[in-house]
Amino acid sequence: MAKKAHPEHGILLEQVKQIAKGLSDTFAPFCEVVVHDLTDPQHAILEIHNNLSGRKVGDPATELGLARIADPAYPQILSNYANHFSDGRQAKSTSIGIKDSNGKYVAALCMNVDLTLFRSLQSAMGQFINVDASAERESLNPVGADALRLHIDQFAAKLATTPRLLKPEERRSLLRELKELGFMDVRRAMDIVARELGVSRATVYTDAK
């Protein structure tokens, strides 16, 4: 005689399936998302999205799943632990146990990220951003531009705001200060100030008068 499904367990599993679908869509194709029905350990895998491990629906529970079934006190969340697929590819995994109202594990949501591509990208990016520290230095900014931006940021910080949120009277005060300190003599100062404040060059000209 077939085992009668517990109503609460069915509701929990349905909710976990919806979460799994959302996660799998978001992190495709690099993250495998698996729903385990821990009430049926011999056929625990209920759903598998972005299949990276080669497993299939109906496969039995993993050792971790069996541990949860045996011990309700087993950690509910295991995050970012080292793992690997059957072909040796390195993975990063997170497993979340789902308990019913009696504190018994009935399901698990597991995510397995294939690190192969990311390690290749990490290596490529490391090579790409590598620079020769002994080479002659050059700035692509106009001379004094960094100091001008810094002064604008510091002015706004003193008012507990950001440059783009300065009020008109505050902008005019800033422009007077920049002019008195000689910052407006920096090449393309008007353009730099306009970008930092998020206003037009015309507004900067008007405020600077």
pLDDT in tens, 75-103: 999 999 999 988 888 999 999 999 999 99
DSSP characters for 51-108?
A: --S---TTPPP-HHHHHHHH-TTS-SEEEEEEEE-TTS-EEEEEEEEEE-TTS-EEEE
Q: Are 112 and 32 in contact (CB under 8 A)?
A: yes
- The per-residue pLDDT for range 36-52, each reduced to its tens digit, is 999 999 999 999 999 99
CATH architecture observed for domain 7-116: 2-Layer Sandwich (3.30)
Confidence of residue 1 (pLDDT cuts 50, 70, 90): very low
Confidence of residue 186 (pLDDT cuts 50, 70, 90): confident
The residue whose two tokens read 């399936």 is 17
Domain boundaries, the chain: 7-116, 145-208
DSSP 43: G
Residue type, 51: N
- The per-residue pLDDT for range 14-44, each reduced to its tens digit, is 999 999 999 999 999 989 999 999 999 999 9
47 strand-pairing partners: 35
